[in-house]
Amino acid sequence: MSENGTTRPEAPAEDSAFRHELYPYDGDAQFLDGAMSFIRDAHAGSELVLVAVGAPKERMLRTELAGTDIAGGVTFLDTAALGRNPGRLIPAWRDWVAKAAEGLPVRGISESAWSEHSPAESAEFGYHEWLLNLAFAQSPAWWLLCPYDTAVLEPAAVESARRCHPMLLSEGAHGPNSAYVQEPYAFPELAPAADHPRELPYQRGMLSAVRAHITACAERHGLEDARLRELLIAATEVVGNSIKHGGGRGVLRTWVEGADLVCEFHDAGHLQDPLVGRLRPAVDQVGGRGLWLVQQLCDLVQIRSTAEAGTTVRLHTRLLP
């Protein structure tokens, strides 16, 4: 499947409640200058700041903040606890923005640990950046700064980020981003499956066969115990949705990609909500929890869906060293 179009939300006005701002920088010194300026400005306005960055950048900021009167207004998100899956990030930011609804103005700084990501993870993080505009279109006022290191990233990744952020921090000035565009999100092509993936067509009544197929593949590559049980729960949810909403049948393919075991499910259905699985279900919500659970159990989830080509869901589970 090559591309999947999704409706882009309207471009926020300059006084939009949610300010989603790109900060292209060149090297650690510029990162520190921009991030600390943002934090000091927040402190001056009695705003709290949540920082979600990789461990090296977190150490830099903690060192800079040590002993200052602004340190108490800065909280660091444990990004390691969230894992490698950007599908878990929006609920974390929603929890933080809930403080704004309680009368506590908030900001955030979010940077992916790009150097540690696989190409599939980097692509999904780019989609996450686009989804933020939709997820917080009706949120209380808050401001998210997204640093991108131009000294490390491929130009295509920075260009993609420019198209997803309505605001831009450049040369110390905050303002509208002229590169931001209103158009459907174009997914990059999914990487081809490894040579000779193991394939199993499935339909109603074949859940046990699907689970046995995945178990055999997982155990062959040393995946077992709790991690295997989590993968089987996630697969059960995907197959259940596939049979119920995808025409009653589908195809499972499994293979190893880098350090991951990949389970791919394809059916004829169409997922129309771009935020499916990305928002925490309400306590009293009936249904709609399956893909949320899948995002929590897997190291990465890739979803491509169009009315013409159907839906492909890839579940990535990291194999032990």
User: Has this prediction a pTM greater than 0.75?
Assistant: yes
- What is the overall mean pLDDT for the chain? 90
Most confident of 1-5, 53-57, 98-102: 53-57
Residue of 243, 244, 264, 239 whose CA lies nearest to 254: 264
Residues 256 and 310 in one domain: yes
**Residue 4 resides in a domain:** no
Residues 229 and 90 in one domain: no
For residues 278 and 90, the answer to whether their CB atoms sit within 8 Å is yes
Residue of 181, 190, 177, 185 whose CA lies nearest to 148: 177
pLDDT reported for residue 115: 57
The answer on pLDDT for 18 being more than 90 is yes
Residues contacting 227, CB < 8 A, separation 6+: 317, 320
Residues 249 and 120 in one domain: no
Side chain identity at residue 317, one-letter code:
T
The number of beta carbons lying within 10 Å of the beta carbon of residue 119 is 11
For residues 168 and 21, the answer to whether their CB atoms sit within 8 Å is yes
**Residue 9 resides in a domain:** no
What strand order describes the sheet that includes 310-318?
198-203, 249-257, 260-267, 310-318, 300-306
**Residue 292 resides in a domain:** yes
Query: Domain range holding 294?
Result: 198-318
User: Which of 117, 143, 176 lies at the terminal end of a domain, its last residue?
Assistant: 176
Cα–Cα distance for residue pair 109/58, rounded to 1 Å: 11
Residues 23 and 140 in one domain: yes
Cα–Cα distance for residue pair 186/160, rounded to 1 Å: 10
Residues 29 and 147 in one domain: yes
H helices of 165-312, where? 207-220, 225-245, 290-297
The answer on pLDDT for 8 being more than 50 is no
Residues 65 and 208 in one domain: no
**Residue 185 resides in a domain:** no
Lowest mean pLDDT across 94-98, 234-238, 285-289:
285-289
DSSP string, 56-92: HHHHHHHHHHTTSTTGGGEEE--HHHHTT-GGGHHHH
252: domain CATH number is 3.30.565.10
59: domain CATH number is 3.40.50.300
Residues 143 and 71 in one domain: yes
The answer on pLDDT for 9 being more than 90 is no
Backbone angles phi, psi at 315, to 5 degrees: -105, 125
**Residue 10 resides in a domain:** no
The answer on pLDDT for 300 being more than 60 is yes
Residues 241 and 311 in one domain: yes
Write the pLDDT tens digit of every residue in 192-227.
Answer: 998 889 999 999 999 999 999 999 999 999 999 999
Query: How many domains is the chain partitioned into structurally?
Result: 2
Residues 167 and 212 in one domain: no
pLDDT reported for residue 16: 58
